[in-house]
A and B are shown apart, each in its own frame.
Chain A
Amino acid sequence: MAARNAGTARPGGPNRTCQFKLVLLGESAVGKSSLVLRFVKGQFHEYQESTIGAAFLTQTVCLDDATIKFEIWDTAGQERYHSLAPMYYRGAQAAIVVYDITNQESFQKAKNWVKELQRQASPNIVMALAGNKADVANKRTVEYEEANAYAEDNALLFMETSAKTSMNVNDIFMAIAKKLPIGPAQGEPTGTVDMNQPQQQQKGSCCK
């Protein structure tokens, strides 16, 4: 495997762009849109407008040997929009199920989403569990250990995140990117791969 350049893009290098569909699921007001907004635009609004139906955004990140373009579907959280959810996770290669660490009910809801994805989504989907609002850990009702154990049992990536402080936001998307199949030629990326910070419109600067 080629020597790794710590986190810098290499124009003209042996790089490919792979597109992946990623869906965010979880109860209303747990911070799905805020996580996406932080990841894609680096912004945070204390009061994020309720998402109706779903929002679509893209963000490109560079791994060492490939460029990953996420096509992100950020879905509405309210129960009745659930009937629309299958068309968003159908064919998705990745999913982030989000709950609010200060809201036990939202954790239960997240578990239901995980179950539904295990049953209905494509079998190779890379799933992550995000315990959001980690900045208000003093109001926590979902213990880290509890969620972590659940994630381990179900082979999910797991991080506590904060869209407000940006804690672990890029990291969770990067962790997903690393687990995505980036093509047969160079095999599975293994070990620790350095990645640069995601920025908008990187497409032109690196790869392909």
Chain B
Amino acid sequence: MYVFNFYPIPRKSINFRSDVDDLGFLRPWSPQEESGCKKQYEAWYSSYLPIVVRRRCRWEKENPRRNSHLLQRFVRKGIPHTFRKELWLRSCPSRADGVWQRHEVPDEVIKQIKLDLPRTFPDNKFLKTEGTRKTLGRALFAVAEHIPSVGYCQGLNFVAGVILLVVNDESRAIDLLVHLVSQRQEYYGKNMIGLRRDMHVLHSLLREHCPRVVVTLEKLDVGLDMLVGKWFVCWFVESLPMETVLRLWDCLIYEGDEWLFRIAVALFRSNMIAISSCESIDQLMTEVQNIGTSKAALYCHQLILKSAALSITNKSIEALRADAELAIPE
């Protein structure tokens, strides 16, 4: 149990005695989970807590909102949990302003949404309740209503779940969900063209940043879609520890898709030796699944800083996407 009496106690301090975190998720070391990694988390958190405390103080003292360059730097170093909702919603339009039109939602879409409500974080303390499940249903319905080309795509249920839990205000959470999905419509549309395109993009980036991984993938004849499609569909939810996901989303929401690629490349680089020495698909899948619990994934602050140092920008992504679009069928 950690007590840092010499620090002001931050709102988001981890109570290691509890099996459930602030957002209602079971902790990775709870008896219901399998990993048995409490020690690892404790070690990580004892190094992370001082960072959280320091960032919170800096945010309060310097108010980075006054300058966009400063704000970018501060966002990358982590938005304190108290300000997260405010910052995530900062440039998010409201449905009440009539930004999005309403369209009729087919019964089939409603049926699919309903099927997935109890199948979205079924162990989460809040999403287990009937009330929050209904809110999730309304959120997914709103996406279908405003973005008919998407309707409902599995994976959005997990994205919506995290937004609801963090924003904790139904109306604004739905605004943010619709806003973020509308920026990535081609991902969730009928043939998921955006996903397939971005897997080509990631392949190109890996060729540049960790060629040994690409050699292994090609040798074993495995597509990135099979390995890490879920990372991109769910913006790493369920694939990385929750704090890492939140830190990544801070950057993703403020700066854009380049962050999905930055993190993916950084994770592959950190686990490059293990991955490139795989000799079978079985081994490869195991290693890729292990990335989520790797030290690189847990030490989120270091991961974000490493990712920030990669020369991957929205501009370079757009160029690679244009090339990739020519390469995918349909």
> Does any Cβ of B come within 8 Å of A84's Cβ?
yes
Among the 9-residue stretches B53-61, B68-76, B223-231, B256-264, the one with 4 or more Cβ atoms under 8 Å from chain A is B223-231
Q: What is the number of residues of chain B that contact chain A, defined by CB distance less than 8 Å?
A: 33
Is the CB–CB distance between A83 and B289 below 8 Å? no
CA distance A78 to B282 in the complex (A): 25
Write out the residue numbers on chain A whose beta carbons fall within 8 Å of the beta carbon of B316. none
Q: Mark A77-88, 1 if CB is under 8 A from B, else 0.
A: 110110110011
Q: Could you say which of B191, B226, B282 contacts A83, with CB atoms under 8 Å apart?
A: B191
CA distance A45 to B118 in the complex (A): 11
Q: Mark B294-306, 1 if CB is under 8 A from A, else 0.
A: 0000000000000
Q: Tell me the smallest distance from the CB of A197 to a CB of chain B, in Å.
A: 21
> Does any Cβ of B come within 8 Å of A148's Cβ?
no
Write out the residue numbers on chain B whose beta carbons fall within 8 Å of the beta carbon of A88. 226
Closest to B189 in A: A80
Among the 9-residue stretches B94-102, B149-157, B201-209, B318-326, the one with 4 or more Cβ atoms under 8 Å from chain A is B149-157
Q: Could you say which of B225, B233, B282 contacts A87, with CB atoms under 8 Å apart?
A: B225
CA distance A47 to B112 in the complex (A): 15
Is the CB–CB distance between B119 and A29 below 8 Å? yes
Write out the residue numbers on chain A whose beta carbons fall within 8 Å of the beta carbon of B153. 78, 80
Is the CB–CB distance between A52 and B122 below 8 Å? no
Q: Mark B110-144, 1 if CB is under 8 A from A, else 0.
A: 00100110111110000000000000000000000
* A53-B226, A53-B229, A83-B191 known; A78+B154 contact, CB < 8 A: yes
CA distance A88 to B281 in the complex (A): 12
> Does any Cβ of B come within 8 Å of A50's Cβ?
yes
CA distance A71 to B234 in the complex (A): 24
Is the CB–CB distance between A56 and B121 below 8 Å? no
Is the CB–CB distance between A49 and B119 below 8 Å? yes
Q: Mark B176-194, 1 if CB is under 8 A from A, else 0.
A: 0000000000001111100
Is the CB–CB distance between B230 and A78 below 8 Å? no
* A52-B234, A76-B154 known; A84+B119 contact, CB < 8 A: no
Is the CB–CB distance between A84 and B192 below 8 Å? yes
Is the CB–CB distance between B154 and A50 below 8 Å? yes
Q: Could you say which of B120, B189, B229, B233 contacts A49, with CB atoms under 8 Å apart?
A: B120
CA distance A77 to B112 in the complex (A): 11
Is the CB–CB distance between A48 and B119 below 8 Å? yes
> Does any Cβ of B come within 8 Å of A58's Cβ?
yes
CA distance A83 to B285 in the complex (A): 21
Q: Tell me the smallest distance from the CB of B267 to a CB of chain A, in Å.
A: 16
Write out the residue numbers on chain A whose beta carbons fall within 8 Å of the beta carbon of B115. 28-29
Q: Tell me the smallest distance from the CB of A59 to a CB of chain B, in Å.
A: 11
CA distance A45 to B330 in the complex (A): 38
> Does any Cβ of A come within 8 Å of B77's Cβ?
no
Q: Tell me the smallest distance from the CB of A84 to a CB of chain B, in Å.
A: 6
Q: Mark B187-221, 1 if CB is under 8 A from A, else 0.
A: 01111100010000000000000000000000000
Closest to B229 in A: A53
Is the CB–CB distance between B119 and A52 below 8 Å? no
**A residues 66-105 with Cβ under 8 Å of B?**
69, 71, 73, 76-78, 80-81, 83-84, 87-88
> Does any Cβ of B come within 8 Å of A176's Cβ?
no
Write out the residue numbers on chain A whose beta carbons fall within 8 Å of the beta carbon of B225. 53, 84, 87
Write out the residue numbers on chain A whose beta carbons fall within 8 Å of the beta carbon of B230. 52-53
CA distance A81 to B193 in the complex (A): 11
> Does any Cβ of B come within 8 Å of A37's Cβ?
no
Closest to B34 in A: A41
CA distance A17 to B119 in the complex (A): 36
> Does any Cβ of B come within 8 Å of A54's Cβ?
yes
> Does any Cβ of B come within 8 Å of A202's Cβ?
no
Q: Could you say which of B121, B122, B191 contacts A80, with CB atoms under 8 Å apart?
A: B191
**Which residues of B pack against A, CB within 8 Å?**
112, 115-116, 118-122, 153-155, 157-158, 188-192, 196, 223, 225-226, 229-230, 233-234, 238, 280-282, 285, 289, 330
**Which residues of A pack against B, CB within 8 Å?**
19, 28-29, 45-54, 56, 58, 69, 71, 73, 76-78, 80-81, 83-84, 87-88
Q: Give the top 10 A-B pairs by smallest Cβ distance, nearest first.
A: A53-B229, A47-B122, A56-B285, A47-B118, A52-B230, A53-B230, A52-B155, A78-B154, A50-B119, A83-B191
